[in-house]
Each structure stands twice: as structure tokens, then as C-alpha cells.
Amino acid sequence: MSFTLHHTCPDTSARTGTLKTAHGDIQTPIFMPVGTQGMVKTLSPDELIDIVGAEIILGNTYHLNLRPGLEVIRQMGGLHKFSTWEKPILTDSGGFQVWSLAKLRKITEEGVSFANHIDGSRTMLSPEASMEIQATLGSDIAMLFDECPPYPCEEKYAANSLALTTRWARRCKEWHQENASKHVPWQLKPEGANLQHDLPQQIFGIVQGSIYSDLREQSAKELVEIGFDGYAVGGISVGEPEHEMLRAIENAVPFLPEDKPRYAMGLGTPPQMLEMIARGVDMFDCVMPTRVARHGLAFTLDGPLHIKNKEFEFDAAPLDETTHPALQKYSRSFIRHLFRAKEMLALRLLSLHNLHFFLRLMQQSREHIEAGTFVEFKTQFTKRYLNQS
């Protein structure tokens, strides 16, 4: 058992736990910065640890498989060694990028064939191919290969899609059980790796079912029957309104085992994450904090701040009172100048700040759950963040 539950909230479903992986322990609830192409955009592995406080990052199977390509990562000893990131890595299955980036998709029982977004050449991703890529990357946690239905989505399409995802889930698990250890670089050569625990690569299922509660229930139950090391809720944050996003979580979580981690994929805003935590979610990932950073947005306790705004021209204050000590010395005035002058340092400082803000929110959530004060914390944080105080 790689997940240990510590505390559960008496008045919500919020909980804390420890997720053990080969490359180290992760305290949950946790946010995972996204390292699309092997590293989080604009950042170095060192500052992800020293400033952001990241415990695990996410790598994108679709992107890494296209570039640099699997042969490079295989010969360099896997993604940890290649990217110099020695802490845990979760890889997605590539399914979401096939849906959002690739062109000329053709979905069959076998898998998805598509024209990739870089040079348009045709690639095939199947449950087995995705598992093999993720094993070769050597992530600590691999995600099953699913179909992500769009929003909005007819119930019939969602039901068929879910059935396909379940069949693919079985094939993923089968391939993984029989073959993963023959591909995971640190299982093949543990002596060169920075391993903390004698654990294999883990695999998480993904609950689908769009906005339909019975489908979410069915999907969760079918996946739990197959049996995974953790469970994600997918197909959310794809354009649906916020209450549908929360409902998707509410419809899935009750059917997931207490003793396995739960992961809400691809979201969200700070208040949304607190709502998700209150509904029993343990893990998050999102490109948003780094993407909006590159557009000049900084998260603060008082809500988002647009550093380009004229009001910060002479502002000697740091981005936020809670920013990391290493970032306190940079004034809003200086960062605004760097941003306007198109200096990359601006994007980096905002990315560091935003990720630190997200990771700090997770740490505070853990502390408040353990102290039994999570509900008050969530209420107060959200009130101030949404400027309702």
C-alpha cells in the first residue's frame, strides 16, 4: 500500500495523507506543477525545489514522445535523469493532448491515430503504446490511456466513450502488470537512480462520464473493480461551468476507495482547489499558474494582480505579502518593468511566485485539516481572494 491516510476532516471530506513513490514521499493534498516538455516552463529543477517547494511534477507523454522522442530519453536513462529532476514524476497518458492539440483524429477500438501538431506526421497511441511510453519515461505514476469526451457531450456519446475507456483501462493494467518493469529505467538499473523506496511504477485509473452522475458512478465502480493505485477524475475543466466541475467530483469520489489517492486533473483556481479538497481530492495539476504568469498575472491573497497595470509603476511592494523570501526583494515596479521590456526574468519571477502560492495553499490546507480548522480557512481565504471581505 503506497498511500497512507492521516487525517480526515469531521465536517468535510478533506483529508491529509502520504503518497509513497520510488522517488520519494508526497504529502497530500498536493499540487503538481506541469513540466510539459520535461521541465516546468521558464524554471529550473533547482528553483522548483528551493523556491516553489514542489514535491512532484507532471510530464506530458504526448509532447515527450514527439520531442525529444523516446529513444533519446531511453538512452539518457529515463526522464528523471534526462531532466535532472530526482523527485517523483507523474506522466499523463497523452490522451488529453491528442484530443486538444492533434489533428485528423481517428478513434478505433485499437487506439487513436492522429496527425501530430509539430510536423503533421501520423502517430498511433493505444493503451499499450501509452503504457510503454510512460514506462520508458520512467515516471513514478503512470495514468491509464482514456478517451476524454468533449463538453458538452450527449449522454450516449459519453456512455460509449466511458465503455471504451473501461476496456482500455483493462488493457493498460494488463500491459503494465506484465511489461512495465522491463521498461522502467530505474527498475532495470536501480543502482544509478536516486530511489527512496523499493516501489514499482504505479498506475492510476481515470473516471470519465462527463456531466452524467450515473455514468461517473459506473466509471468509478468499473475502474475500482479492475484495481488501480489511485484514481483521477478526468474530463473536467474542459469548458463546463464550475458547478458541473464540482458535481463531477461529487459524483465520482463516493465510489472511490478511501485508502487510495484521488486526483482532479487539470485545474483549478485557488478557491476551486479548496472546494475540491473539501470534497476529498488529494492531488491537482494545472498549467494555469505558469501560463497566466507568462501573461503577467500574479496570484495574491486579494485575488489576481496584473503586473502590467500602470498602478504598479511606482509600487515598491513585493508581489504578495506571502511570496517566497527569495522573491521578496523584487518590487512590483521592477517586475512590471521587466515584463514591459520583455525580459524573460519577469516570466520566471511570476511563475515562481504563482507556483509557490499554489504549493503554499496546499501546505496550509494540510495544516488546517490536521488542526481541524480547514472549513474556516477555506471560507476566509475564499472571501478575501474574491474580494468579498
Q: What number of helices (H) and strands (E) belong to the chain?
A: 15, 16
**β-bridge partners, 207:** 233
Residue 84: CB minimum distance to a copy of itself, A: 5
Rounded distance, CA 101 to CA 370, Å?
41
Nearer to a copy of itself, 156 or 329 (CB): 329
92 is in an annotated binding site: yes
Q: Contact at 8 Å (CB) between 17 and 3?
A: yes
38 is in an annotated binding site: no
Residue 123: CB minimum distance to a copy of itself, A: 17
Residue 121: CB minimum distance to a copy of itself, A: 16
Nearer to a copy of itself, 179 or 333 (CB): 333
Q: Contact at 8 Å (CB) between 124 and 111?
A: yes
Count CB neighbours of 100 within 10 A: 13
285 is catalytic: yes
Residue 139: CB minimum distance to a copy of itself, A: 17
Per-residue DSSP letter, 8: E
The grid cell for 5 is: 491516510
92 is catalytic: yes
Nearer to a copy of itself, 11 or 313 (CB): 313
Range 104-118 burial, b when 16+ CB lie within 10 A, else e: eeeeeeebbbbebee
Q: Contact at 8 Å (CB) between 88 and 21?
A: yes
Residue 317: CB minimum distance to a copy of itself, A: 11
CA 184 → CA 61, 70, 176, 200, distances in Å? 14, 12, 10, 9
Rounded distance, CA 351 to CA 372, Å?
31
Catalytic residue among 92, 229, 282, 320: 92
208 is in an annotated binding site: yes
Residue 293: CB minimum distance to a copy of itself, A: 12
Q: What is the binding site for a copy of itself (CB under 8 A)?
A: 37-39, 41-44, 46, 63, 67-68, 72, 75-76, 82-84, 313-314, 316, 326, 329-331, 333-334, 336-338, 340-341, 343-345, 347-349
The grid cell for 11 is: 465536517
Phi, psi dihedral angles at 106 (to 5 degrees): -135, 115
Catalytic residue among 140, 282, 285, 320: 285
93 is in an annotated binding site: yes
214 is in an annotated binding site: no
302 is in an annotated binding site: no
First to last CA, the chain: 43
130 is in an annotated binding site: no
46 is in an annotated binding site: no
The grid cell for 349 is: 519571477
DSSP track, 174-235 = HHHHHHGGGT-HHHH-GGGS--SS----EEEEEE--TT-HHHHHHHHHHHHHH--SEEEE-S
If we measure between CA atoms, which residue out of 69, 74, 61 comes closest to residue 112?
Answer: 61
Which residues are known catalytic residues?
A: 92, 285
Q: Which residues are annotated as a binding site for substrate?
A: 92-96, 146, 208, 235
**What residue numbers does the annotated binding site cover?**
92-96, 146, 208, 235
